[in-house]
Structure 1
């Protein structure tokens, strides 16, 4: 039996969503974050040495990393669904967005999360807090903010070419792209000023499989 090791409010929601889209039989084992550190519990290291989620087990196979898991599931169980034809331009776009999501879109979002926590988190000495806040503010103004705007503008522009990231049809690339966009909506200024990205999020939220995944795995609020 295929098992998803699912961490609350994490990238594993994408895997859960794909499982629902494909209507595959699976088991879900849920893990809760540490309420102080927000890190995954130590039990996940019994499944994979890095102790992170998502992780799936399928027979003798244990596989981590979102894109690798999504590609494995679609290659083994997809039967041609949710992937453009291999000889089409849409397939090249599909592969691009599968890598762009974590390789380009997520790093500035993670930097913003880290620096926001530096500026607002507890400090061992009260006189350090103004220094930390100044460093975080400088990093955001000089690099993080401009990078976030660059990527949001780029993704907004790309969705002017087609309603979905890899073309006219919904694909696994849209599932992969959902997490950085959910994160951007939560903490990086993705609002009504980006109408195509906002419409994309509404379309995915309206999908029955997405709604079933939320029912099973909980809401997606990256960074909270």
Structure 2
């Protein structure tokens, strides 16, 4: 069956899914959302009127939401090393950490970025401060968790790390991960060295000028 991904390489949640596709070696058609392929955007609107992405089409099935897409890829196209563990208890841990990275790292990052592109008189300094405070709290919790482990959950690379890679990548651009969080900084470095994520980062390099807060000259 034909697998198609509607995505943009600079999108945090698209990178999350791309990591899973690259980890599993899944062959797919990249329906690039941008000026280079305007038909892809029209197709996306037909598939999902809310027009949020990524969206995966696998044969007759349309799958929404990055975490669900990864679970689908893992079930239908994964190899012997599953991204979501078969053991139910280990799977719960992986799903929990996936939600932590999405809700308490990625979401405040997006809140800060989106606020920066609003008109000056519509910005929300209080909301931005809350988002930065949430990131700092999440950094502290994650640093303690990662002090004695290589990957986020279940003892091996998986679903939670697919979420962690782009979440921490952009978070450190928005609210730098301080030296007082050495385990989290080291984890971010391991993620950047992972071939699947390194590939996603490299594919997004041409679009760094789009980052409204200014992409740092690193990574």
TM-score by length of 2: 0.79
Asked if residue 15 in structure 1 is aligned to residue 17 in structure 2, the reply is yes
What is the match of residue 217 of structure 2?
none
- Structure 1 residues 24 and 43, CA, compared in 2 at 3 Å: closer, same or farther? closer
- Structure 1 residues 116 and 91, CA, compared in 2 at 3 Å: closer, same or farther? same
What is the match of residue 145 of structure 2?
158
What is the match of residue 126 of structure 1?
none
Q: Say how many residue pairs are matched.
A: 204
Q: CA deviation at 1:223?
A: 4.9
Secondary structure of the corresponding residue to residue 151 of structure 2: coil
Q: CA deviation at 1:117?
A: 3.1
What is the match of residue 83 of structure 1?
84
Asked if residue 5 in structure 1 is aligned to residue 6 in structure 2, the reply is yes
What is the match of residue 218 of structure 1?
204
What is the match of residue 175 of structure 2?
188
What is the match of residue 37 of structure 1?
none
Equivalent pair of 1:186/1:223 in contact (CA under 8 Å): no
- Structure 1 residues 77 and 42, CA, compared in 2 at 3 Å: closer, same or farther? closer
Cα deviations across residues 35-54 of structure 1 (Å, max 9, x unaligned)? xxxxx955531332121210
Q: CA deviation at 1:61?
A: 0.8
Asked if residue 110 in structure 1 is aligned to residue 110 in structure 2, the reply is yes
- Structure 1 residues 189 and 209, CA, compared in 2 at 3 Å: closer, same or farther? closer
Q: How does 1:122-161 map to 2 (within 5 A)?
A: 123=120, 129=121, 136-141=124-129, 143-161=130-148
What is the match of residue 71 of structure 1?
71
What is the match of residue 188 of structure 2?
201
- Structure 1 residues 205 and 106, CA, compared in 2 at 3 Å: closer, same or farther? closer
Equivalent pair of 1:106/1:180 in contact (CA under 8 Å): yes
The 2-side partners of 1:112 and 1:209 are apart by: 27
Asked if residue 24 in structure 1 is aligned to residue 26 in structure 2, the reply is yes
The 1-side partners of 2:201 and 2:105 are apart by: 23
What is the match of residue 101 of structure 2?
101
RMSD: 2.8
The 2-side partners of 1:105 and 1:76 are apart by: 28
